Amino acid sequence: MSKLKIEGGNLLTGTINISGAKNSAVALLPASLLCFTKSKIYKVPKIRDIEYLLKILKILNCTYEINNDEIEINTKNLKNAPIPEELSEQMRASYYFMGTLLGRFKHVEISFPGGCNIGARPIDLHIKGFEALGATVTKIKNKYIIDAKELIGTRIYLDFASVGATINIMLASTYAKGETIIENAAREPEIVNVASYLISMGCKITGAGTSTIIIEGGKKLDNGVTEVFPDRIEAATYVILGALIGKDLHIKGLIKDHINAVLIKLKDVGASFTVNPGEIIISKCEEVLPTKLVTQVYPGFPTDAQQPFTVLLTQANGTSTITENIYESRFVSANLLKQMGAKTKSQKNILTIKGKTPLKGAKNIEVPDLRGGAALVLAALIAKGTTTLTNISLILRGYEDIVEKLTNVGAKIEIIE
C-alpha cells in the first residue's frame, strides 16, 4: 500500500501552478452527455475522480481523446446503461449522471454516490428537483431508478443552496420543456462554469452565480466547449501553506475573487501577501493571531478550506474556534492533528484550537478524507521530523500532481510503497 512520506521544516519557495478545479471538472464531464455529437473541455486536472468518470463514459458508449489537459468527448453512439455501484461509489460527483441521463433518456439507473465521509450527505434536494420536473424516483436498496415520460420546466425552491442539487437540476432541465427557475440556488463558481458550458452547447441560461437561475430547456444541444476554472480549493490550500512555511511562494493561475473569503481571513490572522493578476505571493506569517472562523456557502468561507486553515490556527498565539455550518463531521483531521502535537477539541459543529503548538512528525496517520488529507500534508510540512500518511488515494482523488508541485518548491515529500 502506498504511503506519503514527508519531512517537515523546509521553507518553500518558487511557483505552484493551480490546476483546473476538481469540483467543476467532475460536473463538466457528465454534462458532455447532453451533446449529441461532440464536446471539448480544456484544463481538465489529472486526478482519480476524472479517471473514474471516464470509465463511466466508456460504459455509456462514449469515446474520448485526451491531449495533455484537453479532453474531446464523442457522444454520437451514447447509449443509456445502468451505472455500476463499484464506479458510482468512488465519488460524490457520479450523481451528475442522474441529471444528464434523465435529460437525455428520461431513464436512469444508478447507485447512491460515494465521496468523502464528512457527514450524512443526503441527495433529497436533487431527487425533489427531478420530481418537480416530472420524474418518478424509485429507490431499491442502494439503487435509484429515475423515470419520466417527459420533463416539464417548473419553479424549484431549494431548502438549502446545495451545489450538487443546483447543478443536477440545471443539467436535467436543459431537456425539460419550457422554463425552469431554480430559487435559492447555490452561487459557487462551479455553477457558473457548468452554466457557461451548457450555454456553449446552445442552452439559454441566465442567473448562474446568483440565487435565481433560469433555464430555457427543450432545445437539442451540441458542440459544447469550455475551460475548467482554476481550482479555488487547491489555490486556498497552497496559499495557506505559504502562510505556514512559504518564502516568496508564488501561487499562480488562480482567480483571486474565488478565494476572497480565505484571503480576508488570512489577513485577519496577520498573514500578508501580494496580489498580482492571476497570482498571489506569500511568505510565512511569523506571528499568527487567533480567530473565529465560520464556514458558509459561497461567497462565505468554504468548508473545503476549513481543514487546511485549522493547521494554520495551531500556530496562532491563543485560542481559535471554527464553526462548521455545512457538514456535521468534518473535524476528523483536526482530531488527528493531536497525534502531531496540536491541541484541538471538537464539540458538535465547533472546533477549538489552542495555540501555539509546535508540530512533530508522526507515523502512519490514516488520511480520513480529501481535504483532511491536504491538512495533514500541510501539518507534516511544518512539523519537526518525518510523517507518514496512509490511505493517500483520497488525497490523489483531488490534488493534481501534489507530490511534484510540492517537491518543485523545495518540500521533502515522496510516495513510498
Q: How far apart are CA 302 and CA 299, in angstroms?
A: 8
> Which 35-74 residues touch ligand UD1, going by CB under 6 A?
none
Beta strands per DSSP E along 187-339: 204-206, 212-217, 224-227, 246-252, 273-276, 279-282, 292-294, 318-323
Among 88, 226, 303, 344, binds ligand UD1 (CB under 6 A): 303
Between 168 and 387, CB nearer to ligand UD1:
168
120 binds ligand UD1 (CB under 6 A): yes
- Closest distance to ligand UD1 from the beta carbon of 77 (Å): 27
Residue 394 lies near ligand UD1 (rule: CB under 6 A): no
Instruction: Name the DSSP class of 369.
Output: S
Q: Is 157 in the site for ligand UD1 (CB under 6 A)?
A: no
**3 state DSSP class of 130:** helix
Taking CB under 6 A as the binding criterion, the range among 80-88, 297-305, 378-386, 401-409 that sits at the site for ligand UD1 is 297-305
Binding of ligand UD1 by 123 (CB under 6 A): yes
DSSP 340: G
What is the spatial distance between Cα 100 and Cα 238, in angstroms, rounded to a whole number?
A: 33
Q: How far is CA 49 from the centre of its chain?
A: 10
Give me the least distance between CB of 140 and ligand UD1, in Å please: 19
Instruction: Using CB under 6 A, pick the residue from 163, 266, 305, 313 that binds ligand UD1.
Output: 163
Residue in 397, 404, 352 with CA at minimum distance from that of residue 372: 397
Q: Residue 97 burial (CB < 10 Å; 0-12/13-18/19+)?
A: buried
Listed residue (310, 331, 336, 327) closest to 390, CA to CA: 336
What x/- string results for residues 1 through 40 when contact with ligand UD1 is judged by CB under 6 A?
Answer: ----------------------x--x--------------
Binding of ligand UD1 at residue 99 (CB under 6 A)?
A: no
Draw the binding track, 184-203, toward ligand UD1 (x: CB under 6 A; -: no contact): --x-----------------
74, 220, 324 from 36: Cα distances, Å = 8, 8, 42
93 lies in the site for ligand UD1, by CB under 6 A = yes
Cα(285)–Cα(327) distance, rounded to whole angstroms? 29
Tell whether residue 164 is a contact of ligand UD1 (CB under 6 A).
yes
Site string for ligand UD1, 270-289 (x = CB under 6 A): --------------------
Selected from 304, 324, 369, 400, the binder of ligand UD1 by CB under 6 A is: 304
**Alpha-carbon gap, residue 369 to 55, rounded angstroms:** 22
By C-beta, is 257 or 287 nearer to ligand UD1?
257
Contacts with ligand UD1, 326-355, as mask; x by CB under 6 A: xx----------------------------
Q: What share of the chain is helix, strand, coil (3-state, %, to 5)?
A: 35, 30, 35
Distance CA 245, CA 249 (A): 9
The cell for 130 is: 427531478
75 binds ligand UD1 (CB under 6 A): no
Instruction: Concatenate the DSSP letters of all residues of 275-306 into one string.
Output: EETTEEEE---SSBPP-EEEB-STTSB-HHHH
- Of 86 and 124, the one with the shorter C-beta distance to ligand UD1 is 124
* 203 part of the active site: no
Measured in degrees and rounded to the nearest 5, phi and psi for residue 45 equal -70, 150
Backbone phi, psi, residue 407, to 5°:
-60, -40
The reply to whether 119 sits near ligand UD1 by the rule CB under 6 A is: yes
Segment contacting ligand UD1 by CB under 6 A, of 118-126, 200-208, 381-389, 406-414: 118-126
Nearer CB in complex with ligand UD1: 303/344: 303
DSSP 239: H
Residue from 9, 122, 178, 318 binding ligand UD1 (CB under 6 A)? 122
- Please, what is the minimum distance in Å from the beta carbon of residue 328 to ligand UD1? 7
- Cα–Cα distance measured from residue 57 to residue 64, given in angstroms and rounded to the nearest whole number: 9
Map grid coordinates 488570512 to a residue: 266
Q: Interface with ligand UD1 by CB under 6 A: which range of 198-206, 296-304, 335-343, 350-358?
A: 296-304
- Residue 170 or 411: the one with the smaller Cβ distance to ligand UD1 is 170
Closer residue to ligand UD1 (CB): 227 or 304: 304
Residue 394, C-alpha cell as written in the block: 483520497
CA dist 7 and 166 (Å) reads 42
Least distance to ligand UD1, CB of residue 120, Å: 6
By the criterion CB under 6 A, which residues form the site for ligand UD1? Answer: 23, 26, 92-93, 119-126, 160, 162-165, 186, 302-304, 326-327
Tell me which residues are annotated as active site: 116
